[in-house]
Amino acid sequence: METVSGGNQENQPQNPQGVSDAEKWGSLITGGAMVLMGLSQRSLRGALMAMAGGAMAYHGATADKSLTDKVADATGLGKGIKVEKTVTIINKTPEELYEFWHNFENLPTFMKHLKSVTVTSPTRSHWVTSAPFGTEVEWDAEIVADQPNKLIAWASVEGSQVDNSGFVRFQPGPPGRGTEVKVVMEYNPPGGVVGAAIAKLFGEEAEQQIGDELRRFKMLMEAGEIATTEGQPSGRK
């Protein structure tokens, strides 16, 4: 099974394997396994689509890849950046955390680079983030899976400046140990100047950035505020 390459699958649109993939990813994402380990061979977006809509959606998401994408895949250029981070929040239930997060307009309070998120329809939202060199990057995201109190998965819509997808999962830890919040994300930075800015924003530091964002989310939920030293005095000239 695991020796079947992505290329083969793309050439076999009716492959019933899509269905078992959906089950497989569904159990991975909701189960306790390390998601990225399982994803090392392929895209998170594909897996999310498979989980959300079964074989057809999965096929739809992967079969229309352009030639350049295929070349990039083959050479390893433009390879997606994948990040997986988990924190535990002790004094909030999965329900409370899911609810806070699902109101996307709350996200900029703990995601530093995010300027705004505007909800434009029940499943669509518009994201604006500040990028290095004074630039701004924006995109529209679509919720691809929504399991109340458990999981929210999203993907940027076709043609976005930055192709990204991911999910956040809330699940109870061992008794008395709060709620485990896991974020898994994948970015495919484009080329060019904007690409360089995005790569800097999401690329080299992606893991630290997601880690910091989750840490700030935890601070806000547990301590009611986000620790800071910004604005404190020092003897620096």
Q: Which residues of the chain form contacts with another protein (CB under 8 A)? A: 88, 90-91, 177-178, 208, 211-212, 215-216, 218-219, 222-237
Instruction: Give the shortest CB-87-to-another protein separation in angstroms.
Output: 9
Note whether 130 and 115 are within 8 A (CB): yes
Shortest Cβ 224–another protein spacing (Å): 7
CB of 223 to another protein, least distance (A): 4
Tell the smallest beta-carbon distance from residue 110 to another protein (Å): 11
CA-closest candidate to residue 199, choices 148, 145, 149, 162: 162
Q: DSSP character for 234?
A: -
Q: Which is nearer to another protein, 193 or 227 (CB)?
A: 227
If the CB atoms of residues 39 and 214 are measured against another protein, the closer one turns out to be: 214
Buried residues in 60-85 as b, exposed as e (16+ CB within 10 A): ebbeeeeeeeeebbeeeebebbbbbb
Smallest distance from another protein to CB 208, Å = 5
Residue 16 or 236 with smaller CB distance to another protein: 236
Alpha carbons 187 and 5: distance in angstroms, whole number = 21
| Contact call for residues 139 and 160 (beta carbons, < 8 A) | yes
Of 70 and 112, nearer to another protein (C-beta) is 112
Q: For another protein, give the closer residue by CB, 193 or 237.
A: 237
Collapsed DSSP state (helix, strand, coil) of residue 231: coil
CB of 8 to another protein, least distance (A): 39
Please state, as a whole number, how many other Cβ atoms lie within 10 Å of the Cβ of residue 139.
17
* Minimum CB distance to another protein smaller for 34 or for 157: 34
Look-up: residue for tokens 């050439």?
11
* 58 vs 61: CA distance, rounded Å: 5
What's the chain's length in residues? 237
